[in-house]
Chains A and B, each alone.
Chain A
Amino acid sequence: MEKTQNNKAWFLVLPVLVIVAFSAVIPLMTVVNYSVNDTFGENAFFWNGLGWFEDIITSDRMHSALGRQVVFSAIILAIEVPLGIFIALNMPKTGFWASFCLILMALPLLIPFNVVGTIWQIFGRVDIGLLGHGLAALGVDYNYTNDAFDAWITIIVMDVWHWTSLVALLCYAGLQSIPQAYYQAARIDQASRWSVFRFIELPKMSGVLLIAVLLRFMDSFMIYTEPFVVTGGGPGNSTTFLSIDLVKMAVGQFDLGPAAAFSIMYFLVILLVSWVFYTVMTTLDNAETK
């Protein structure tokens, strides 16, 4: 449809632009400033060009942290998205149990991040934790403080426990919006359970799933508090994800220049991947309407 274009409406965005500038862009400029300068304190800066960026890009430490981060996000998405869909499909649709399940599912989402970390830190301890002690009693050799594999398992299970609800609740909302007639029609057409999922439920959920995948990707890629509280990045560097490494660099070693360069690249990577996700999923969606 042809519509008259009037770009003057963009001026209405100006106030928001000003507010965002103060809340995000200007603080970010401080980081940009650090990333291209070297400083020994006392507000004395020495121009370093793209030196810090080169350092970070070629640093083995960064490469391995990035590798761990990518693997972590991939595992999280691979578990939480299908599991969330599965739970949503099996939740009661009406009545008391529907509300009960909704509240139960929402509970983990309401717990502060560092509290979640603390819960699991204690829960997994071999000496006093229910999980750790229980596993030990069963004869399982489990210790997240000195075994890298156990540490990974603990953090992944914790994240699944904490965030699968989000995916499930979003999918549940998507499922609830499907009119009953679709299911009746599918029964009349003798569609299999899989067909009902593939041709009715999944297409109707695709919108909320896009949001769920984006949120879970961004959150898991930026994860800091929970692994920091549980493992502190250890044992060794095995659970040192990007943000944990960043904090070590900036606050621990006080290497502000490299940390600033790192922050900017970190931000750009998340922006880029989110954009790719969004574009790929919406084009797939549009391709289907053609």
Chain B
Amino acid sequence: MAQITLSKLAHSYLPNPKGEADFALKEMDHVWQDGGAYALLGSSGCGKTTLLNIISGIVRPSHGRVLFGDRDVTDEETAARNIAQVFQFPVVYDTMTVRENLAFPLRNRGMDAAYIAARVNHIAQMIGMEDRLNHKARGLTADAKQKISLGRGMVREDVNAILFDEPLTVIDPHMKWELRTQLKQLHRQLGHTMIYVTHDQVEALTFADKVVVMYDGRVVQIGTPEELFETPAHTFVGYFIGSPGMNLLDATVAGNRAHLNGCEVALAANYAPVQGRSQIGIRPEYCSLTAGAGLPVTLRRVEDVGRHRIIRAELFGQAFNMIAPEGMAIGADMTRVVFAPDKINVFADDWRVAAQAGGAA
């Protein structure tokens, strides 16, 4: 097990990258803690798989170094890095039994037979396949095969990290939940560093202690699910996380007031004058519809999603979402919206601006 350091890491698939646009992965400096559960979250093509392949050694980064603990592994082969990886679709050895599949990584490393047997039984129990150890892998269903892949990833105790590349893509929805819970549990039991690539925010937020959000080849934020929700570092994090995502409104910010379309919104803190395109962001959860004072909205639709309702509306000609609690009555006279001032985030050119210290309104 080891802490993973990405030092000035960048990668371009072109031989002579000119500008920033040529890089699939923009320069980054990060330290990922030993034993942490990380999720790499982002939409397709944002570079998360490239980053994973660099960590696993399948791709050699064009710039920068990768360190496991104090050891520089940038030039090392996958096999030498002592990691485990679970792929998007099940990779099992069809002609082997489940038992042989699980034992394979250990046997190749010349482990003691008694240890292998004990370890395989232990893992089989964890993934709930102890009754099918003697079945051939070929005849099993996709999710059983993926369980074997997960098991093979976890069978070695000494791995530096276990990498998951969207491992639940082929799994049925109800099995997804079960496997995700199992993974979380396994992480607690084994304490390995785990890196989980996904484009599904629910998977990322339930699995990881720290979510690494990637956008356009850049890590835009590393944080706990709560941090991503409350203080998104980038507008992408704002609207990618959450359902529906954060409302972003163009506004000019001065002191502890934001002005949009001639209306004034109170902020919880003072802000220095903002350079570039300034926006304020507010989560639908922190907007409330009211008949009193506030910004004028036009309601379009109310969607009942069970525990709460999503109100689709329009604010100054722009789509705007709000969340209303289950029991709240929505009257025809409720045409104004108010924001919780301390939940408003200010962005300049898409990046979050911190409030000035001691500037409470």
Contact = CB atoms under 8 A, between A and B. Distances in A.
A188 B88 CA distance: 15
Q: Is the interface of A mostly helix, strand, loop or mixed?
A: helix
Given A181-B89, A187-B78, A290 B136 contact: yes
Contacts of B85: 184-185, 188
A77 B95 CA distance: 24
B139 A290 contact: yes
Contacts of B307: none
B116 interface: no
Contact of A188 (B56, B93, B136, B139): B56
Interface string A173-187: 000000101101101
B152 interface: yes
A181 B91 contact: yes
B273 to A, nearest CB: 51
A185 B95 contact: no
Contacts of B91: 179, 181-182, 185
Interface residues of A, number: 18
Interface in A200-244: 200, 203
Contact of B104 (A179, A187, A189, A288): A189
A5 interface: no
Interface in B227-266: none
Interface stretch (A9-17, A30-38, A190-198): A190-198
Interface in B85-108: 85, 87-89, 91, 93-96, 104-105, 108
A97 interface: no
Contacts of B84: 188
A288 B138 CA distance: 8
B70 to A, nearest CB: 22
B79 interface: yes
Contacts of A189: 104-105, 108, 152
Nearest to A289: B139
B66 interface: no
B95 A184 contact: no
Contacts of B56: 184, 188
A199 interface: yes
B109 interface: yes
A190 B105 CA distance: 7
Contacts of B108: 189-192, 195
A137 to B, nearest CB: 49
Interface string A55-73: 0000000000000000000
Interface of B: 56, 58, 77-79, 83-85, 87-89, 91, 93-96, 104-105, 108-109, 136, 138-139, 149, 152
18 contacts: A179-B91, A181-B87, A184-B78, A184-B87, A185-B85, A188-B56, A188-B78, A188-B105, A190-B79, A199-B95, A199-B96, A203-B93, A203-B94, A203-B95, A288-B94, A289-B136, A289-B138, A290-B136
